[in-house]
Amino acid sequence: MNPQAIIDGLVAGSMIGLGAIGVTLTYSILRFANFAHGEFVTGGAYLTLVLLTALSAVLGTAPLSPFSVSLALVLAFGGALVLTGGVALTLDAILFRPLRRRGGTIIIIVIASFGASLALRSLIEFVFTATPQYFSRELQIAAPIGGGMRATPDQLLVLAITALLVAAVHLLLTRTDAGRAMRAVAENPALARISGIDVEGVVRLTFMIGGALACAAGVAAGLLVQIRPTMGFDLLLPLFAAAILGGIGSVPGAVLGGLLVGLCEALAAQTVGAEWRAAVSFAVLVAVLALRPRGLFGRR
Amino acid sequence: MDAALLAYLAFFMTMALTYAVMCLGLNVQWGLTGIFNVGVAGFVLAGAYTSAIVTTPPIDGRVGGFGLPIAAGWLAAAIVGAVLSLLVGALTIRLRADYLAISTFGFAVVIHLAALNLEGITGGPFGISFIPRPFGELAGEPLRFNLLNLAVMAGLVAVLYGLLERLARSPWGRVLRAIREDEDAARALGKSAVRFRLQAIALGGAVMGIAGAAGAHFIGFIAPANYLAILTFQVWAMLIVGGSGSNLGAILGAVLVWAIWAASGAAVEAVFPPGAQARAASLQIVLIGVSLCVILLLRPRGLLGSRRVVRRKGNL
């Protein structure tokens, strides 16, 4: 086996992990599988691209060596984090909340998210066309990092930022009042409500965090691969596989699940062939559902 | 009436009725039983390829090509559709409903990948052509050919409709509705929810397999690109518009949504210059997606939806 698969897998896995946090939080707090989450990933990447184009005109495109990232991209990323959270909030306000209020079965909300997913994806394709786009044309040289592995500075940057974001979300959930409120709603919404927790506020916070992290996953994918209208949808199955593998509701589980799915994909690309990459998440999913449906860190 | 227009109408209706068959299959799963299948395209693909492999004449470099009659292809497609959906169902039937949604979604992705990559069986990205068409010897006379094919498809829809209506009214159908409305009460009466659900999944999968086969034989050519997530989405839109739970609604929804789809496609062609058409076609999908959400918000029972006997309150 070529040890390079480890770096490739970890980098791909960190994008999956970032996206899977949003899936697992939505699933544990709102209790539905959000099929539109992949479009938050895509939307985040394209929002960053739009802001980048505007900011580059003012700040220029000089990269912050050794990365290919320019100052404009850093600022654009910051803005897009907030905007993508806003997109997720808006989708909840116009679609999911009215459906929740009506008190139908959960699965109706899942169908609605499925419809929203295709509508958003096609809207992005209409506005930006299907042609792949890039944040920068800078070339990156992969430097040896020991153990026969090579990594570009951008890849290491993505790994570092993922670690930072995951640590931040974990601290938010475990050490703040907002985080305690989120866990309380995940545990028992009715009890949380009569204890005076603002359940709708918790739902809004969940969509903000999920949207922002999805944006981070999209920007990482845009930086290292390319930006396409289907990038998030193609990531959806790995996201679900990672969230279920990690155990629904567990943030560290989602990240670990993401890394494992990424590693399995990289290994399969080497051994079975890259054309079967997309089947790996399904294999992981089937294995988890058959052997341990509650996942690595899931309760119940 | 103009013969060419009539031929086109027959062609249009045959296509719409192919979708109606898929809708009927989905209605057994979702409308009758409350099973959420997001992999409709995958089961239809499986049926189409099975029938194509069974009925096409042998070709060098490709496994299959048994040259059997079309009816054998339909039967094989039904069996493969049932078995595959049973396998996917058995994996998640004891878990929460959206786990089934996720695994059917994954199934559709994987089977699409298999159709693309297993070139020795499926012909890869180029698919399989020369699939025998009913009344294929009349292909030179579009009007007669299309009318006869419409008759075949209408017959198929009528037979399935009659069968499914009888089933829905039978004791078996009543148990399914009971499970959908109140699983605990049904179990208290000694009905195994798991077993009935699996039967419904398999029956729905078989009907979707037949739909795939019927469509493949009508067009005479299949490729993986015809079975993307958009197909699943269209079938869902059809069932939701028509009203889930009603077989007549499923057929009506299929014809209506297919008419809207074809008309908006023609509008895109007429309004946008040829260079911009591929781009504008994505607006069509936006339109369907938004209308699906609007119907869910405003008229969740669709045009002819079945009334729930028991109102159930959701949590949160």
Q: Which of B293, B299, B301 would best serve as a mutation to test chain A binding (most A beta carbons within 10 A)?
A: B293
pLDDT of amino acid B312: 45
Q: How far apart are CA B229 and CA B219, in angstroms?
A: 20
pLDDT in tens, B252-264: 999 998 998 888 8
Q: Do B38 and A114 touch (CB under 8 A)?
A: yes
Residues from chain A that touch B36, judged by Cβ atoms under 8 A, are: 107, 110-111
CA distance A157 to chain B (A): 31
Residues from chain B that touch A278, judged by Cβ atoms under 8 A, are: 109-110, 113
pLDDT of amino acid A273: 86
Q: Which of B102, B109, B231 would best serve as a mutation to test chain A binding (most A beta carbons within 10 A)?
A: B102
pLDDT of amino acid A144: 86
Q: What is the ipTM of this complex?
A: 0.88
Name the stretches of chain B with pLDDT < 50: 309-316
Residues from chain B that touch A119, judged by Cβ atoms under 8 A, are: 285-286, 288-290, 293
In order along its 300 residues, chain A shows pLDDT tens digits of 688 889 999 999 999 999 999 999 999 898 888 999 999 999 999 999 999 999 998 888 888 878 888 899 999 999 999 999 999 999 999 999 998 888 767 778 888 898 899 899 999 999 998 899 999 887 788 888 877 888 898 999 999 999 999 999 999 999 999 999 999 998 888 899 999 999 999 999 999 999 999 999 999 999 999 999 999 999 999 999 999 999 988 899 999 999 999 999 999 998 888 889 889 999 999 999 889 888 888 765
Closest CA to B168 of B246, B254, B253, B249: B246
Q: Do A118 and B91 touch (CB under 8 A)?
A: no
Least CB–CB distance from B293: residue in A107, A116, A275 = A116
pLDDT of amino acid B314: 41
pLDDT of amino acid B295: 82
Interface residue B46 vs chain A (CB under 8 A): no
pTM: 0.89
CA distance B74 to chain A (A): 28
